[in-house]
Amino acid sequence: MLRDGWAVDGPAADDFAGDMTAPRGLIVTNTTITNAPGRSQWTDAMDRAGTAEGESPMTSISGPDGYMSGFGNEFETEALEGALPVGQNSPQRCPYGLYAEQLSGSPFTAPRASNRRTWLYRIRPSVLHAVKFRRAAESEWKTAPHHVQGGPDLGPLRWDPPPPPAGETSFVEGMRTMTTAGDVNVQAGMAAHVFHVSRSMEREYFYNADGELLVVIEKGRLAFHTEMGRIAAEPGEIVVLPRGVKFRVELIDGPARGYACENYGAMFTLPERGPIGANGLANPRDFLVPVAAYEEVEAPCTLTVKWCGGFHTAEIGHSPLDVVAWHGAHVPYKYDLRRFSPVGAILNDHPDPSIFTVLTAPSDTPGMANVDFAIFPERWMVAEGTFRPPWYHMNVMSEFMGLIYGVYDAKPEGFVPGGMSLHNCMLPHGPDNDAFTAASFSRLEPHKLSGTLAFMFETRFPQHLTEFAAREAPLQDNYIDCWADLVKHYDGSPEGK
């Protein structure tokens, strides 16, 4: 159906026929999903967004659910009935005159368990998106190896939330790198970023050739329009955008901010559970992948690619989000961190924080991750005769932490939502004096840590500060003083003082 330049098909077409507030050229999926909850989460998010005077209109379309459930699955979905070829990937002529294109996120010969590729059936092939790139301006988005001379002395570091950048910034423009680790040229390591978004990407598209991007939203809500479909996300949820997948980001209801981990190495996967068994931690069914939805926009657009740390932009005459159908496993997804099923001590002592790993990107050394993404969510503390907060620690891994909401139990003061800390390789850290005193001398009863959600990007590589982290972000110069009140309790007696 074509109405006033808007192409719509599928079950939502009748509902949409009178609604002229949707973006021009948006195609609504007709994929039927049987394993996603109730009403479309995308539709709910867009319904809440509204349209303020002077703002770009948002989508508000009733229709089928917008997500498929699972992790590492082979998915298939089509926005137009019959757009997916049957029984083969690359027919002589594709339905609807589409082009068949494979996006490979792993080598062709990767083992089946780690092989990630997706077949896309699109209006134009991607070769028309790379007509002529020009180098874009320098960005605050930095890439490893990136070493800055000077800056803070070696030691544990902590920052308050950085202020928003001057002027309006898109998701890409508002990215500020805090640390880099490893080397993008050998596809090893990571970077930790913070971002502020104050404007939507209008006919601006982006993809990252350097790695996959794990986005942690701390404030506000964002809509990710990708080649495979649309994802709406809010604080408490993460979005993972694989290497090479094109996307743009829209605000849903005002400015947003958060954190991002750029993983240069092997793709994130679920950690092995070992003796935990078949259930617990992040369960595969709670990961959501978008169903097919595409844009047919015939207007000037820009496509920017991040490649080996540089940014390159091409002017194209159409939207690159023109994938009508797809099947495969190299896909964007989201996950609600509040669905994590934590495992912990139920009698005594304290397990290692690795028990809270949501996703891991393995390295060539078994058990030593390129990046681990762990969280510290709501949970019960019940261990008897035990120092319950995280213990004092020196670690071969480097830990970048952030707080999404609430209070972190090991640092009840000074570590605030939107802030962050860095405890690099073999630098000591642990609870401050208030946390130590409360945990050591209070009566132990079952206690629930409520209303809290912290996270960690942990890597095998030392994390190096950027110029922004060293000189612009609001570093807490007195962070080291949080341990100054720790006193000597040893007096020669078994009880101590």
Count of helices and strands (H, E) across the chain: 4, 32
Closest by CA to 158, choosing from 432, 440, 434, 377, is: 432
b/e for 218-243, b at 16 or more Cβ within 10 A? bbbbbbbbbbbbbbbbbbbbbbbbbb
Euclidean distance between the first and final Cα of the chain, in Å?
Answer: 80
User: How far is residue 12's CA from residue 6's CA, in Å, rounded to a whole number?
Assistant: 13
Provide the annotated active-site residues: 350
CA of 425: how far to CAs of 88, 181, 187, 353, 355, in Å? 49, 11, 20, 16, 20
Give CA–CA dist 467/233, Å, rounded.
30
| Host H or E run for residue 303 | strand 301-307
Quote the CA–CA distance of 313 and 297 in Å, as a whole number: 18
| DSSP for 25-87, written as a single string | TEE------SSS-SS-HHHHHHHHH---TTSPPPP----S--EEE-SS--EEEESSTT-S-SS
Measured in degrees and rounded to the nearest 5, phi and psi for residue 455 equal -145, 170
CA 398 to CA 424: how far, in whole Å? Answer: 4
* Among candidate residues 15, 27, 1, 202, the one with its CA nearest the CA of residue 121: 27
